[in-house]
Amino acid sequence: MLYAQILLNGLVLGGLYACISVGFSLVWGVLNVINVLHGSFVVLGSYIAYFAYVHLGIHPFVSVVIAGALLFALGYVVQLGLINRVVGAPVLTTLVLTFGLDLLLNNGMLLAFSADYRSVQLANPLGSKVIAGLVFPLDRLVAMLLAGVLTGLLYLLLVRSKIGHAIVAVRMDREAAALMGVDVKTIYAITFGIGALMAGAAGSLLSLVFPISPLASSEYLSIAFIVCVLGGLGSIAGAIVGGLALGLIQSFGALFIGPEHGLTIAFVLLILLLIFKPTGIMGRRGYE
């Protein structure tokens, strides 16, 4: 029964990790930009959910929409105004730019909110339910289900909509897409905005699970990076598989080795995977 409970906890955690990472993977796969800002976007989404609940009484499950919309606008403007200028440049150039922007955003949050940890204390939490000896934390379970819905909507956007087809076309061959009439710069901005939207929405859901502080941004970025490489770049399914895998690794690692070594274990497995399968679990050659 203990292992079944840990399995359940790992899947719930992994679902949230997948929502954090799917936008990061999309931006990396389409723009070839390692978005170091992603962790701070997640934290900003958590703060939006926190203040929306404390001052306006809006539940974090609802503020997912607000956080997602605001982060999409921020990501769209940042990409169109700044990052578009270095798309196509060596990876180190884009890495330095996003790292500098992350320093600005993270220090701005430190000045505005301080480094103190905060958490959303719901007035009416859903609590937990025991079924067949397993404890189901309902707030976390609903958060995971919403994360799954968001990831599914992103998948449908990519495979069923005109914008999604344009994003996939640019990812496969931007010159050919431009010759077919696709506005590549606008598609890049939309893609980066979607990545920020997913980060903000994930941050809103995570505000119910983890304490909120600008100091947490580096951990969220590490999670996104590990999941992205584990699952395979540019793959929505890969981000889901990688997120669930990381959630299970952390949960069982906490049981056998200790919770403080969860990310260390994940990085060791990541190195082994890169040695034997550099494309990731579900990635395709050309994106590694």
Residue 129 has pLDDT above 90, yes or no: no
The H or E element spanning position 137 is strand 134-137
Alpha-helical regions (H) of 57-183: 60-81, 91-113, 138-160, 162-172, 174-179
Highest mean pLDDT among 12-21, 23-32, 50-59, 219-228: 50-59
The pLDDT tens digits of the residues spanning 234-280 come to: 677 888 888 888 888 888 887 787 777 777 777 787 777 777 777 77
Residue 288 has pLDDT above 60, yes or no: no
**pLDDT value for 286:** 47
Q: How far is the C-alpha of 128 from the C-alpha of 59, rounded, in Å? A: 18
Q: What is the mean pLDDT of residues 25-42?
A: 90
